[in-house]
Structure 1
Amino acid sequence: MGHLTYANNAAPIEIADEMLAHLRAVTVTKLRRGESFALTVPTNSHAFETLWIHASIPIQFALDVSVRLERSLLASMMEAASSSGGLDLGDERLAIGVQAARPLHAMSA
């Protein structure tokens, strides 16, 4: 489980490594282009919180494992981040994209 720290908040937000790795790539790309966006994330109380992602607000990504990025999930997340509603990590379509992005491993008998 990775952690997202926003605006020097003491309590980091826990996000699955697969989702957080993709979110990091989307965020860096958007901020490098000078584009801000709304990001809705789950909170520890099973609610959701919307954050404004802007280059002037500190943000930190901490992942426990290395994750291979999937182009189709990145494209979906970039499209959502560019929409008027912003990027919502509670969106079931993104969760499905994360599950589909996981590599399959063959098992031998």
Structure 2
Amino acid sequence: MGTLYYGGSALPIDIEDRALAHLKVVIATKLRRNESFTLSWRHTDGGPVGRSSIWLHPAIPLQFDFADTEPPTLSRQWIEELANSANTSGGITLTEEHVESATG
């Protein structure tokens, strides 16, 4: 399980490593362009029920911590889906990865 630390909040945001790696690419791209946006997610099992959103701004400190020592292979499709949602008025909504299965 990875962790996202945002601003001066002592409360970490737990996000599965693979999802966090994909979010990192999209978030870094947006912030590098000096763009602000929201990030929304549903709470995971064991945490409080519901969902949360944060406002991401280039001037606010952000740290990504990963449990895995090796980065995962990234899915271009998932990155594109997250980036497309980042460009809407609702901001990034963390969704499950859609895995295409080969049939044959």
Residues 62-81 of structure 1 aligned to structure 2 (within 5 Å)? 62-65=65-68, 66-81=71-86
Q: Counting helix residues as a fraction of each chain, which structure ranks higher?
A: 1
The TM-score normalised by the length of structure 1 is 0.80
Secondary structure of 2:96 counterpart: helix
Alignment-mate amino acid for residue 52 of structure 1? W
Is 2:87 aligned against 1:86? no
Aligned length: 95
| Structural mapping, 1:9-88, within 5 Å | 9-43=9-43, 44-65=47-68, 66-88=71-93
Provide, for residues 14-62 of structure 1, a one-character-per-residue CA deviation record: whole Å limited to 9, x for no partner: 1001100000110100111111111113343122111111101111110
Q: Note if 1:4 corresponds to 2:15.
A: no
Q: How many percent identity over aligned positions? A: 38
User: Match of 1:104?
Assistant: none
Measure how far apart 1:64 and its partner are: 1.3
In structure 1, the gaps of 5 or more residues are 102-109
For the 8 Å contact 1:4–1:62, the answer to whether it is kept is: yes
2:78–2:97 Cα contact (<8 Å) kept: no
Quote the Cα distance in structure 2 between the aligned partners of 1:18 and 1:80.
18
**Runs of 4+ displaced beyond 3 Å:** none
Query: Scaled by the length of structure 2, what TM-score is found?
Result: 0.83
Aligned residues: CA RMSD: 1.5
Measure, in 1, the Cα distance between the counterparts of 2:41 and 2:7.
14
Runs of 5+ unmatched residues, structure 2: none
